[in-house]
Structure 1
Amino acid sequence: MSPRGRRPAGEDARAQIVEAARTELAAKGYDGTSLRGVARAAGVDPALVHHYFAGKTALFAAAMEVPFDPRQVIDGVLEAPVDRLGESLVRAFLGVWDTPEGRVRIAALLRSAATHPDAMTLLEQFLVREIFGRVAGRAGPRGLERRAGLVATQMIGLGFARYVAELPGVADAEAEELVAAVAPVIQRYLDLPGS
C-alpha cells in the first residue's frame, strides 16, 4: 500500500517536479501553467517547487533543458543603457548559445519548435513574455508586444540559421561579427515608436 498525502522532499522530488512541469507545459502552454498546478501534478507542496526553482522562468528552463537560467541572462542584458540593449542582448545570447552544450540544446529546442506546433506555441509564449518582452519593456511600454515579437523573429532566425541550418557566413562567423551585424537591427526594433 502506498502512503497517502504529499510526497516528501528528497532526491526524486526535483525530477518529479520537472516531469510534471513538462506535462503541464505540453497540456496548457507557458501562459496556462502555474507553479501551484505543477506542484499539484507532481504531488508535492507548492513550497517545494519554490525551494528548487526561483519561479516559472527557471522551471521552464529546467523542463525544456535550457542550459542557462534565462532570468539571470536577461537581468544582465537589462543592465546595459537603453541605447545598447540590442548589442547586450545579441552578445549575451551568443555567449550562451556558442558553448558546446548551448549549441546542442538550442538546436534541439529550435528543431522541436519547427516541427511541433505545440512546442512552437510554448516557445513563443515564453520568449515573448519572459525574454524579449522584458528587454522591449526596458526600452519603453508603448508597442511592447510588437517590438518584442520583432526582436524574437530576429533572434530565433539567427539561432536557426547558425545552429540548425548552419548557413555559411552565419554558422562560421565570429560572435562579435554577428553582434556588429545583428545588434543594430535589434536596437532599431527596440526603438520603434509605440502604437
Structure 2
Amino acid sequence: MAGERGRRPGNPQTREPILAAAIASFVSRGYPGTTIRGVAREAAVDPALVMHFFGSKDGLFDAAIKKSLPVALLVEAMEGDEEHLAERLVTRYLELWEDPSHGPALAAVLHAAAATPAAADLLKELMRKDLLTPLAGRLSRDHPEVRGLFAASQMIGVAMMRYILKVEPLASMPAPLVAATVTPVIQRYLTGELSLEEITGAATALL
C-alpha cells in the first residue's frame, strides 16, 4: 500500500526507477512474465504509482522500449551518402546486437513482439515513426517507404535467426562476415532496381 515504509513517494523522480525496473523485468522475464505488481515491488513503490505514471502494462512496455532501444544510434548511422548507407546501417545494427548493454533489450523486444499482439503493435508503431520514416526521408529513389520496409525486414530476419533462434552456422559467424554478406542485399533494397512484384507485395504489407 502507498505510504508503506521503504516505498518511494509519488514524485517525478520516481518514474525513472520504475522504468529501470520495468526494463530489467522485460529483459529477464519477457512481456508475459512482467507484471505491474512485480515492477512496483522491484522499484519499491505502490502498484498504483506505476499505473499513475504509465497507465497500463502496455504503456509501461511502450515507455520501456522507447527508453531502452538505441533508436538514436541507428538514425545516426543513416547520415551520409546513399552509396554506403547499407554498410553503415548493417554495421551499426550488428554492433548494437553484439553490445551487452543493448543486445538483451533488443532480444526482449523481439521476443515480446513475437509472443504478444499488443507488444507487436507498439513495436510496429515505434519502427514506423522513429526508424522507417527517417530512413525513407534519406532515400532519393522511388518508393522510399517500401524500400525501407524491405531493408528492415531483412535486418530483423538476420537478428531473429542469429540472436534469437541462434541457427548455426549464422549464430557463430563473425559479425563482420555477416555484415559483408548482408550489406549488398540491403543496399539493393535501398538504392537499386526493384521489380514490380516486389513493390506490389511490400505495398500490400503496408496496408
Q: Secondary structure at the match of 2:171?
A: coil
* Aligned sequence identity (%): 28
Q: How does 1:84-103 map to 2 (within 5 A)?
A: 84-103=84-103
> TM-score, normalized by length of structure 1?
0.65
Aligned length: 154
The answer to whether residue 105 in structure 2 is matched with residue 69 in structure 1 is no
Aligned equivalents of 2:176, 2:113: Cα separation in 1: 27
Partner of 1:115: 115
CA, structure 1 residues 63+172, in 2 after alignment: closer, same or farther (shift >3 Å)? same
Unaligned runs of 5+ in 2: 3-9, 22-30, 32-51, 55-60, 200-207
Aligned equivalents of 2:176, 2:65: Cα separation in 1: 28
- After TM superposition, give the deviation of residue 155 of structure 1 in Å: 1.0
Aligned equivalents of 2:92, 2:19: Cα separation in 1: 28
- Deviation digits for residues 90-143 of structure 1 (CA, Å, limit 9, x no counterpart): 000111110223332222211111111221222122123312332232123741
The answer to whether residue 16 in structure 2 is matched with residue 14 in structure 1 is yes
- After TM superposition, give the deviation of residue 147 of structure 1 in Å: 1.3
Give, as a single letter, the amino acid of the residue that structure 2 aligns with 1:13: R
Partner of 1:30: none
CA, structure 1 residues 98+82, in 2 after alignment: closer, same or farther (shift >3 Å)? same
Unaligned runs of 5+ in 1: 20-25, 27-40, 44-58
Partner of 2:34: none
CA, structure 1 residues 190+93, in 2 after alignment: closer, same or farther (shift >3 Å)? same
Question: Aligned-pair RMSD on alpha carbons?
Answer: 3.3
Partner of 2:35: none
Aligned equivalents of 1:66, 1:94: Cα separation in 2: 19
Task: From the CA coordinates, give the structure whose radius of gyration is larger.
Answer: 2
Contact 1:143 1:193 in 2 (8 A): no
Partner of 2:53: 42
Give, as a single letter, the amino acid of the residue that structure 2 aligns with 1:147: R
